Amino acid sequence: MKNWICVKPLVLGILVLSSVAVAENPLPQDLIKEQVSEAIKLKKAYRSPNVVPSERTLHVIYWTPSDREPIAQFRERLTRVFFDIREFYRTEMVRMGFGDLTFKLAKEPDGLLRIHVVRGLATYSNYNVDSGSKIRNECLPVLEKAGIDADKETLVIFCNMSNWDPQKKVMSQNSPYYAAGGLRSGTAWQVDSALLDAKLLSDKQPIIQDGQYGEISVGKYNSIFVGGVCHELGHALGLPHNLEHPSERVTLGRSLMGSGNQTYGDDRRKESPGSFLTLADGLRLASHPLFKRDETGIDLPASAEINDIAVKVAPDARSFSVSGKVTGDPPVYAVVGYLDPKGGSDYDATTVTCIPNNSGAFSLECNAFKKDSPTALRIVACQANGGRINDMTFQLLFAVDANGLVDVSSYIVKSKLSKLAMAVKSDNVEIANKELAFIEQHASQDGSDRLLLDVARSLTGSIDFNSGPAPSLVEGPVCWLSDSIAKVSTVGWIGPLANRLPNDSVVLSINGQVFARGLYAHAPSSYTYDLGGKWRTLSGFAGIADGHSGTVIFVVLGDGKELWRSNKTNEESLLDFRVGINGIKEITFRVEDSGDGNASDWGIWTDVKVER
């Protein structure tokens, strides 16, 4: 057996299959178990001999508004719900080779689930889907009295916020329904109803009308809402969204952390294969205290580091590998990657996983992408104590064209510029010139490094930047405005900058695409240039700088008249514009806050030029 195992990616669902470039084969079950076996070995090496046993249980709370009594038989129904969900997690962990791992539940002497009942401080009309924090705060005194520190435990709060009309068979709900959490703690908000009962998962009758899902059987209702409990619990345990390989749907169904929250138990009605956990989910759950039953190192901070990253594109450009070295104390037992197309939510994030070898070397093979979409690869390193570096620690932005071909050039350019960027950030001209000389000396002679060279030269020149003449004084067919002097330049944070950003990366980058020239224009900002009526066309790009989540509106004005205005723009958009400016004497570029405050509104204009 090899010291490390690199797993073929799981290509995940919800996307239209024709729009996804997928691997030819799903991940074989024997390779899943082989990888799990290697992960378990690494985990055990850390656990022994200093194991700290854990008696942690999942805590269930039943909250009801002050003017409502708990729904009939809630103890019996929720007991069946949680026993069913506990068995689902256990079965899936066994299937993957992790063994008999699942969460523990506290029971009363009568065998039913221990549920902490909380009476709300206000009536039903004072709560809604956004009342999660309010409801949780009302639960804290009851939990504290029971000796439960809510900030150190995993909670599931059932809210008595549904409305059932048994005559009309109409159901509606107005409840919080979301979750968040991780290693130490988590909270999931759910809705209880008279129909919520795992024993009804097999029933195709009666048909009810749900306010959100329309006409469905009572069994399908429970697939959605028992499945929803299972799914949101996953979030409370720290699991993100991810989907399944299309071919896995035939035998395994839908990923629980994808759309599997709506197919849970479908197999009992023979309507679909149901839901399952992906290997990415299993690897992360395997070190959670509720599953591994020990708390060894639980209070240690996540300390993993990823270094020596290398990216290699396959000859056919339909896949690429990311290799590197991961280190950590406690040791890292698994590396999980999420390939998340920009736009929409992360439900369409495909996953890749591998186990590092004894020296920490790992390699992820990435070959499952949404076509014609910028995509971010986020890497999570799972440590043996349950800690994990945040998936924002390492991100690789890349593009996929309409034919499924991959372009990682922007990431490679940024990697080659890392030392130069540090010198530019510290305004060290001497080191910057040395790094530029090194890049120029080692650049390819076939033209493939043209972007690298252009960006390197612009960054170096930005340290002691001297603006060129105003466009009205420039001769020739083209004038790059970022190289010209502006009549007016105001920026909402720090100050005007040309051809660089005021952050650690300094490189101008929008939606994964790198640019050599541009203007930093954090909202609200304005740049005005004297054209002298001598130019015919204006063109360029605009967007939010990568790594920032603001929303802005871009505006171009000619002699005070609006020539172009963007829609509300976020980090997932790269806009291009081209307008006629014949006879215009003064051009202004304005970035406006879109109405939600200017936090993180890192607007930038790139490759902006006027032509005769």
Please list, residue by residue across 323-355, b when 16 or more beta carbons sit within 10 angstroms of its beta carbon and e when fewer do: bbbbebebbbbbbbbbbbbbeeebbbbbbbbbb
Query: For the ranges 115-119, 309-313, 546-550, which has the lowest average pLDDT?
Result: 546-550
Q: What is the reported pLDDT for 392?
A: 59
Question: Mean pLDDT, to the nearest integer, of 432-451?
Answer: 91
pLDDT tens for 361-400 read: 999 999 888 888 888 899 999 998 887 776 656 788 888 8
Assess contact for 221 and 191: CB atoms under 8 A: no
**407 or 89, greater pLDDT:** 89
**Predicted TM-score of the model (pTM):** 0.83
**300 or 235, greater pLDDT:** 235
Q: 256: phi > 0 → left, psi -120 to 50 → alpha, else beta; which? A: alpha
Unique residue bearing structure tokens 């390989």: 245
Question: Mean pLDDT, to the nearest integer, of 186-190?
Answer: 97
User: What gap in Å lies between CA 395 and CA 379, rounded to an integer?
Assistant: 7
Domain boundaries, the chain: 5-11+54-288, 305-406, 465-611
Q: What is the reported pLDDT for 48?
A: 59
Q: What is the reported pLDDT for 368?
A: 81
Chain-wide mean pLDDT for the chain? 90
User: What gap in Å lies between CA 484 and CA 503, rounded to an integer?
Assistant: 23
User: What gap in Å lies between CA 365 and CA 353, rounded to an integer?
Assistant: 8
Unique residue bearing structure tokens 């006879």: 583
Angle in degrees, 0-180, between the axes of helices 450-461 and 409-416, rounded to the nearest 10: 40
Q: What is the reported pLDDT for 7?
A: 31
Q: Can you list the alpha helix ranges (DSSP code H) found in 390-428? A: 409-416, 418-425
Q: What is the reported pLDDT for 571?
A: 83
Best CA proximity match to 130, nearest among 171, 170, 152, 161: 161
CATH assignment of 465-611, given 3.40.50.720, 3.90.650.10, 3.30.1330.10, 2.60.120.1060? 2.60.120.1060
Distance of CA 284 to the CA centre of its chain: 15
CA distances in angstroms from 160 to 11, 210, 516, listed in the order given: 38, 16, 57
User: What gap in Å lies between CA 86 and CA 230, rounded to an integer?
Assistant: 9
* Helix/strand/coil percent split, the chain, to 5: 25, 30, 45
Assess contact for 338 and 412: CB atoms under 8 A: no
Q: What is the reported pLDDT for 423?
A: 95
User: What gap in Å lies between CA 110 and CA 608, rounded to an integer?
Assistant: 73
Q: CATH topology for 5-11+54-288?
A: Collagenase (Catalytic Domain) (3.40.390)
pLDDT tens for 97-126 read: 999 999 999 999 999 999 999 999 999 999
Best CA proximity match to 110, nearest among 87, 82, 76: 76
User: What gap in Å lies between CA 206 and CA 218, rounded to an integer?
Assistant: 6
User: What gap in Å lies between CA 224 and CA 107, rounded to an integer?
Assistant: 26
CATH class label, 305-406: mainly beta
DSSP 239-299: -------TTHHHHT-EETTTGGGGTTTGGGGTSS--EE--HHHHHHHTTSHHHHSB-TTTT
